[in-house]
Amino acid sequence: MKNIELKPIGIVHSPLKNISGNPVQSSFSEVEGQIEIFEEYEEGLKDLEGFEFIICITYFHLVKNPVPLQSPTHWDSQKHGIFAIRSPWRPNPIGFSILKLLGIKKNMLEVKNLDIMDRTPVLDIKPFIPSIDNRETDKIGWFEGKS
């Protein structure tokens, strides 16, 4: 199979500067910051301001060596497969955060709930639509009783 090449559409400006101590998920964060969309993609922001939340897909640029078995230290001391947890240390270090959209000024998105480090490349932005993106489930694997 061919390699896939992705081009960043923007970059995150965040007060989160160090890997340690960052929020583990955007739903646990009150951190505010900005997402700068590169000017060549600014037109693509048309009509996004009508959404309360966005999905931000990022590239974890500091991840170098994936780890196939890891312990999600905040919830469980047992090791689980990388595809059963949300650690950034993945074969393809892609991040997924749901952020509150506070406003848009030209090509700058003001956001809240950041769990993304400063200077992280942004691969895509999508609107969060509850009727499409929410799912009801009773099956949450090893995470049962941990939240």
* Domain count of the fold of the chain: 1
CATH number of the domain at 25, please: 2.40.30.70
Question: Other C-beta atoms within 10 Å of 77: how many?
Answer: 7
Q: Which domain holds residue 47?
A: 10-129
- Quick check: helix, strand or coil at residue 143? helix
pLDDT at 26 over 80: no
Q: Is residue 142 part of a domain?
A: no
In 53-131, beta strands by DSSP E? 53-59, 69-70, 80-81, 94-105, 108-112, 121-127
* Percent of the chain at pLDDT exceeding 90: 54
pLDDT tier for residue 35 given thresholds of 50, 70 and 90: very high
pLDDT tier for residue 27 given thresholds of 50, 70 and 90: low
Provide the pLDDT for residue 31.
81
Pairing status of strand 32-37 against strand 69-70: unpaired
Whole-model pTM?
0.87
What's the rounded mean pLDDT across residues 53-65?
92
Burial 46-71 (b: 16+ CB within 10 A, else e): eeeeeeebbbbebbbeebeeeeeebe
Contact between 89 and 16 (Cβ < 8 Å): no
